[in-house]
Amino acid sequence: MKPDLHIPQPLRLLDQMREVLRYKHYSLRTEQAYLYWVRFFVRWHGRGGTMRHPKSMAADEVRAFLTMLATERNVSVSTHNQALSALLFLYREVLGMDLPWLQDLKRPTRPRRIPSVLTQPEVVALLGALDGDVALLGKLLYGTGMRLMEGLRLRVKDVDFDRQAIMVREAKGGKDRVVMLPRSLLPSLKAQLAAGRVRWEQDRQRGASGVAVPDALALKYPDLGRRWGWFWVFPAPALSLDPRSRIERRHHLYEERLQRAIKLACAAAGIYKQVSVHTLRHSFATHLLQAGTDIRTVQELLGHSDVSTTMIYTHVLKVAGGGTTSPLDALSTALSPTECREPEALYA
């Protein structure tokens, strides 16, 4: 009798792409986004009832899909670029089709916009309207210039109270950097870690799987995720399933917690600017420059590769705070008192 040999079946397209994305250590968010766009691309071209494999499609189909996104869906430039990146990854990395027409696909140009920045009184009002762990997280993001996910992924071992510094690990572009630890947050941050220690000990007693750690370290040191130093500074209140490994473990605080809290805080503080969590980072950089910090230092604190990216904040300072006088103000003494009145007085 012949042995029952298991012949592995070829992977489906999306499974192949998922495998390559994980092999190249792309983030979970990028993996989810790229899989979405490839699925959308295949289904959109198969809307007539006949599904086609991407190997049988080429430049015309890719351009038609991208044109539809821009003209019918009215997607933003960043979304349009993400869809194009997903398709380029599919053809080059998964299907191995480095065809000439791939080089001819043009990316839309992203408009350069002046960031929304809060004044210092507005920052005080906004942060004062937050409470709980999101209040500490909001203060930490403004006080260090960290991005939202950089703050959420902060681990106990990366907070150095002695040197009053925070090590930001695997930030945008896979780079590490050091930022200051605001002295005013030392008591609150120590209290946060004390509460986290209690939660970590409870997880240990229940035999939980700890927290996620980078893949290579997880293989080399299987127990690393259960160590206190690797625990989250902002842990989630409950255990959850890891979307990749399907292991139940402690995740960090969900990002939408602060995003929702910021919107409610803006309404409570009477702030009507367009404000997001990232506005705290913009305000951090602008206020440092306003206080006389040199732009190279701000560049390093923000983790920008090119100083031209940091220069955008100097455009805010050129006009903001009365730095440039309007020509109308030079004529104010020549204008009649009636012309200089407030609009409310004119229509009273």
Q: Which of 39, 80, 172, 227 is catalytic?
A: 172
Average pLDDT over residues 275-296: 94
Decide: pTM greater than 0.85.
Answer: no
Residue 165's H or E segment, with its range, is: strand 165-168
Residue 51 has pLDDT above 60, yes or no: yes
pLDDT, the chain, mean: 86
pLDDT of residue 260: 95
Q: What are phi and psi of 165, to 5 degrees?
A: -140, 155
Residue 74 Cα distances to 39, 71, 88, angstroms: 19, 5, 21
Q: Are 145 and 301 in contact (CB under 8 A)?
A: yes
Q: Which residues of 40-60 are buried (b: 16+ CB within 10 A; e: fewer)?
A: ebbeebeeeeeeeebeebeee
Helices (H), the chain: 13-23, 28-45, 59-71, 77-89, 100-104, 120-128, 133-144, 148-152, 186-206, 215-220, 255-269, 278-290, 295-302, 307-310, 312-319, 327-330, 343-346
Average pLDDT over residues 54-68: 87
139 is an active site residue? no
Report the distance separating Cα 91 and Cα 99, nearest Å: 8
Q: Model confidence at 4, in pLDDT bands (50, 70, 90)?
A: very low
* Among 34, 91, 142, 313, the one annotated catalytic: 313
Tens digit of each residue's pLDDT (9 = 90 or more) over 94-128: 998 876 766 667 777 777 778 889 999 999 999 99
Q: Is 24 a catalytic residue?
A: no
So where are the chain's domains? 13-104, 113-323
The top-scoring range by mean pLDDT among 49-63, 145-159, 332-346 is 145-159
Q: Which of 250, 281, 282, 287 is catalytic?
A: 281
How far is CA 128 from each of CA 44, 262, 263, 278, 342, rounded to the nearest angstrom?
Answer: 47, 11, 13, 17, 32
Catalytic site includes residue 73: no
The matching CATH number, chosen from 1.10.287.180, 1.10.1670.10, 1.10.443.10, 2.60.200.30, for 113-323 is 1.10.443.10
Span 167-210, pLDDT tens digits? 999 888 778 999 999 999 999 999 999 999 999 999 999 998 89
Q: Is the pLDDT of residue 305 over 90?
A: no
Residue 152: per-residue pLDDT:
95
Catalytic option among 63, 157, 257, 278: 278
Identify the pLDDT of residue 114.
81
Residue 5 has pLDDT above 60, yes or no: no
| Active-site option among 147, 153, 155, 287 | 147
**Closest of 115, 163, 149 to residue 273, by C-alpha:** 115
Q: Which CATH architecture has domain 13-104?
A: Orthogonal Bundle (1.10)
Assess whether 313 carries a catalytic annotation: yes
Which tokens hold the place of 290?
């306003």
Pick from 121, 182, 126, 183: nearest CA to 151: 182
Q: Which of 139, 249, 282, 304 is catalytic?
A: 304
Highest average pLDDT, of 19-33, 92-106, 212-226, 251-265, comes from 251-265
Residues linked to residue 232 through DSSP beta bridges, in sequence order: 155
> Does residue 8 have a pLDDT over 60?
no
Spatial neighbors of 41 by CB under 8 A, at least 6 apart, are: 54, 62, 65, 83, 86, 87
Average pLDDT, integer, range 228-246: 92
Per-residue pLDDT at 42: 92
Residue 3 has pLDDT above 50, yes or no: no
Query: Of 42-56, 101-115, 241-255, which one has max mean pLDDT?
Result: 241-255
> Is 318 among the catalytic positions?
no
Q: What integer is the mean pLDDT of 257-277?
A: 94
55 catalytic? Reply is no
Please, are residues 20 and 34 in contact by the beta-carbon 8 Å criterion?
no
Percent of the chain with pLDDT over 90: 54
- Report the chain's C-alpha Rg in angstroms: 26
With vertex at residue 127, the alpha carbon angle to CA 129 and CA 312, rounded to the nearest 5 degrees, is 135
User: Which residues on neighbouring strands pair with residue 180, listed in sequence order?
Assistant: 165
